[in-house]
Chain A
Amino acid sequence: MTRHLLTVHDLRVAFATEAGPARAVDGVSFTMNAGETVGLVGESGCGKSLTALSLLRLVPDGGRIAPGSRITFEEQDVLAMPERTLRALRGHRLSMIFQEPMTALNPVLTVGDQVAEVVRVHTTASAGEAWTRAVDMLAQVGIPDPAARARQYPHELSGGMRQRVMIAMALILEPALVIADEPTTALDVTIQAQILELLRDLRDRTGMALLLITHDLGVVAEMASRVLVMYAGEVVEEAPVALLFDAPGHPYTEGLLAAVPTLDSTRERLHTIPGTVPAATAWPAGCRFRDRCAHAWERCTTEPPALAQLGPAHRVRCHLVQEPERRRA
């Protein structure tokens, strides 16, 4: 067995709320190999962004990673390492691209300074060298006239340009893993196409691994080789991308795929998943999807399904794996 670049084992993150603890991420396990692109998909509140933040130990205030959770990155225990080691890791070997570059960039520093700062913090480069590398990186992410743009402030750039700056910051030290949290959600579709192309291009050039968090199944289909589907704080399905779209195993994945409108539609009704996602403070016992599932039977209300092997590299958290005859047409 090859050594994994990243191993997440039984990750649990809970928030204290007035209605009791909210188990926003509840036992997530997965691995990633070097150079691989994994899509982490799910709807709002499923815990996908929180999972990503936990990988960098950046859980928001009030949240706590439960003991027993384990994150191993390049054979280092991320959750156990001292703050200093962690800081050395962040932005260097493991970096993150956020959804909203306007809030993730510092408004009072020029974008060149912000990219150069990453170099200064993690290497012994001089200010001059760092600046040169920053301008060079801005050119690589497709910013026209990078030497002049580097002297501008975030508000002087368009949304697409700001996202390019974020990508330059994340990639300048050629990290082994980049986590991109909804990197194109705030962008228009033609700009999204530019950014996806850029990410693909940089990934192929640098050989970085990419964990792509998104709600957009189109983006996943285009970018990822493997997909994790999250629902109610858990991974409910894991599969190679082609298999997931061709033969989804979990009723939720199936419903989600059917609900996505496509361009070649003939204006037929969209498939819907009835009901809404339960609250994180009160996950139902048994299967968390059962109230919205067309196949659910007694076993689903009592016994929480485990992530079971449906085929090679295909795992599904559903009792239908053991009892496929229960599937309704």
Chain B
Amino acid sequence: MSVSSGATPLLEVRDLAKHYPVQGSWWRSPSQFIRAVDGVSFTLHAGETLALVGESGCGKTTTGRAILRLIEPTRGSVRFDGQDLLALDREPLRRLRRHMQIVFQDPFGSLNPRLTIGAAIREGLLVHELAQGAEADRRVAQLLEEVGLRAEHASRYPHEFSGGQRQRVGIARALAVAPKFIVCDEPVSALDVSVQAQVVNLLRDLQRDRGLAYLFIAHDLAVVSHMADRVAVMYLGRIVELAPRAALFAEPRMPYTQALLSAVPVPKPGRAPRRIVLAGDPPSPANPPSGCVFHPRCQHPAKDARCTRDVPVLAEKSPGHWVACHHVDVTTPLPPPLAPA
């Protein structure tokens, strides 16, 4: 059993962690670690979108990069398409990258300013020997049109494009190798509302046409509600709630998720939400609280000594709805999150 829904998943992440050393130096071992990601487990199926949401520093970006091994995880396992990614040597991993891609948040920093966008898109085709010469040109033109740009844009440099157009280039680059899975790391956060809507729709169209699976990392819950099939909420390096989209937005169970949702400003005047305003700031991942990481800011009426003592397990409280909280009624027995699939 795993944190998922049916069938063999395309991606299965178990107990993934990334700890960064602090205060270490080259001659002595570090004494303290920042637990950027601290035991994250989930699955993702072909053609599905799982959103990973949370506030800055919750570890969502690190999770996305550790899955792709752009950052080496400290522990855990990542199975992609039946292969254990963390056990792969450099060359087989490089070849496998064809099937898993990433789109970055910053449309300015993620394109090499000295390469034309055509060259940037071609690179994947060349290194994976998918197309060469005129055939590669044709594919680049096709990709540009697929993401809503024009074929003749291929010879231009990134600085000639707007943020939204650059983000389309980033998407075309990821698509070039025809992947099955894309990590979308805040792909619309840097964009204006009207452009954001264009890119959100584009990502959804591409998913429909190509059967892509997305790990959609975001902090904007409203965008997530338009993209995701399922949503995982992260806090301080852990998933604290994971549920189908509708269930999560209609009936958040974890107190943090409730506060997060209530904090989103609603673009409807006079309909001020019943807001749970959390006190203070999230604690530092270098020194996380004992027990439930959310307990210092939690306003749940039943908060008790157990919350400060025991780490709550992410457990399935109703079908498909996983919550890490001591005070949400247990309807199914707690499965260990590391149980074999």
* A contact set with B: CB distance below 8 Å: 43-44, 144, 158, 160-161, 188-194, 196-197, 215-222, 241-242, 245, 255-257, 259-265, 267-273, 276
Contact = CB atoms under 8 A, between A and B. Distances in A.
Given A259-B196, A267-B245, A193 B267 contact: no
A187 to B, nearest CB: 9
A276 B222 contact: no
B281 A221 contact: no
B247 to A, nearest CB: 13
Nearest to A225: B269
Contact of B264 (A160, A242, A263): A263
A83 B271 CA distance: 44
A272 B266 contact: no
Nearest to B161: A276
Contacts of B227: 267
Contact of B267 (A255, A262, A270): A262
A219 B220 CA distance: 14
Contacts of B249: 263-264
Contact of B265 (A194, A216, A242, A259): A216
Given A190-B55, A263-B264, A255 B194 contact: yes
Contacts of A189: 55, 219, 221, 260, 263-264
Contact of A190 (B226, B260, B268, B271): B260
**Max chain A CB contacts within 10 Å: which of B201, B260, B263?**
B263
Q: Across the A-B interface, give the 6 residue pairs with the lowest CB-CB distance, nearest first.
A: A218-B265, A188-B55, A43-B192, A193-B263, A270-B197, A259-B197
B263 A190 contact: yes
A219 B273 CA distance: 12
A260 B164 CA distance: 16
Looking at chain B's contact residues, is the secondary structure mostly helix, strand, loop, or mixed?
A: helix
A269 B260 CA distance: 24
Contacts of A161: 281
Interface residues of B, number: 44
Nearest to B163: A44
Contact of B281 (A191, A193, A219, A241): A191
B277 A43 contact: no
A215 B194 CA distance: 11
A293 B182 CA distance: 34
Contacts of A267: 225-227, 245
A245 B269 CA distance: 7
A263 B221 contact: yes
Nearest to A270: B197
A213 to B, nearest CB: 14
B222 A217 contact: no
Given A261-B197, A269-B204, A190 B259 contact: yes
B263 A221 contact: no
Contacts of A220: 267
B198 interface: yes
A255 B260 CA distance: 27
Nearest to B202: A272
A59 B223 CA distance: 34
Interface string B259-299: 11111111111111001011011000000000000000000
A38 to B, nearest CB: 14
B278 A260 contact: no
A44 B56 CA distance: 22
Given A44-B192, A188-B56, A260 B267 contact: yes
Given A193-B263, A218-B264, A218-B265, A262 B195 contact: no
Contact of A271 (B55, B197, B219, B267): B197
Contacts of A245: 267-269
A91 to B, nearest CB: 27
